[in-house]
Amino acid sequence: MFHLVSSLYTQYTKREQYNILILGLDNAGKTTFLEHLKLLYSSSTDTSSNKKESDARSISDILKSKRILPTVGQNTTTIKFESSIESHLSSQFKNINLKFWDLGGQKSLRNMWSRYYNSCHGIIFIIDSTDTERFQECYETLKEIAHDESWKNLENGDENEILNIPILMLANKQDLPEAVDLVSLKTGVFIQLVSELEATDSKLLPVSVLQNEGLKESLEWLVTRLIYNKGNKMPEYK
Ligand code: GDP
Ligand code: MG
Q: What is the DSSP annotation of the chain?
A: -HHHHHHHHHHHHSPEEEEEEEE-STTSSHHHHHHHHHHHHHS-----HHHHHHHHHHHHHHHHHS-PPPPSSEEEEEEEE-----STTGGGGTTEEEEEEEE--SHHHHTTGGGGGGG-SEEEEEEETT-GGGHHHHHHHHHHHHT-GGGGGSTT--TT---SS-EEEEEE-TTSTTPPPHHHHHHTTTHHHHHHHHTTT-EEEE-BTTTTBSHHHHHHHHHHHHHHTTTTSPPEE-
Q: How many Å lie between the centroid of ligand 2 and the Cα of residue 158?
A: 34
Q: Using 50, 70 and 90 to split pLDDT, how confident is the model at 55? A: low
- 202 or 65: which leads in pLDDT: 202
CB atoms within 10 A of CB 134: 16
Q: In the chain, pLDDT over 90 holds for what percent of residues? A: 45
The answer, yes or no, to whether any atom of ligand 1 lies below 6 A from the CB of 71, is yes
Q: Which residues surround ligand 2, an ion (CB under 5 A)?
A: 30-31, 71
- Which residue from 134, 112, 152, 156 is spatially nearest to 23, judged by alpha carbons? 112
Write the residue with the smallest CA distance to atom 15 of ligand 1: 29
Nearest-angstrom CA–CA distance, 97 and 88: 19
Give the pLDDT confidence of 163-176 residue by residue, as tens digits.
789 999 999 999 99
Average pLDDT over the chain, rounded to an integer? 83
Nearest-angstrom CA–CA distance, 25 and 137: 8
Q: Helix axis angle, 215-228 relative to 30-42, nearest 10°?
A: 90
Q: How much is the pLDDT for 125?
A: 97
> Which atom of ligand 1 lies at the shortest distance from residue 208's CA?
23
pLDDT above 80: residue 86: no
* CA 8 to chain centroid: 29
Q: State the architecture of 15-237 in CATH terms.
A: 3-Layer(aba) Sandwich (3.40)
Query: Average of pLDDT values for 61-87?
Result: 73
Q: How many Å lie between the centroid of ligand 1 and the Cα of residue 33?
A: 8
Give the pLDDT confidence of 106-143 residue by residue, as tens digits.
888 888 899 999 999 999 999 999 999 999 999 999 99
Query: Average of pLDDT values for 44-67?
Result: 55
Q: How much is the pLDDT for 81?
A: 87
The answer, yes or no, to whether any atom of ligand 1 lies below 6 A from the CB of 206, is no
pLDDT above 60: residue 154: no
Query: Average of pLDDT values for 76-102?
Result: 79
Q: How much is the pLDDT for 153?
A: 57
Write the residue with the smallest CA distance to atom 20 of ligand 1: 29
Q: 11-20, 63-72, 149-158, 199-208: which has the highest mean pLDDT?
A: 199-208
pLDDT above 80: residue 189: yes
Q: How many Å lie between the centroid of ligand 2 and the Cα of residue 217?
A: 22
Q: How many Å lie between the centroid of ligand 1 and the Cα of residue 92?
A: 32
φ, ψ at 215 (rounded to 5°): -70, -50
Inter-residue contact 204 to 182 (CB < 8 Å) = yes
Residue ranges covered by each domain of the chain: 15-237
Q: How much is the pLDDT for 50?
A: 44
- 130 or 231: which leads in pLDDT: 130
Inter-residue contact 92 to 143 (CB < 8 Å) = no
Q: Tell me the whole-structure pTM to 2 decimals.
A: 0.85
The answer, yes or no, to whether any atom of ligand 1 lies below 6 A from the CB of 212, is no
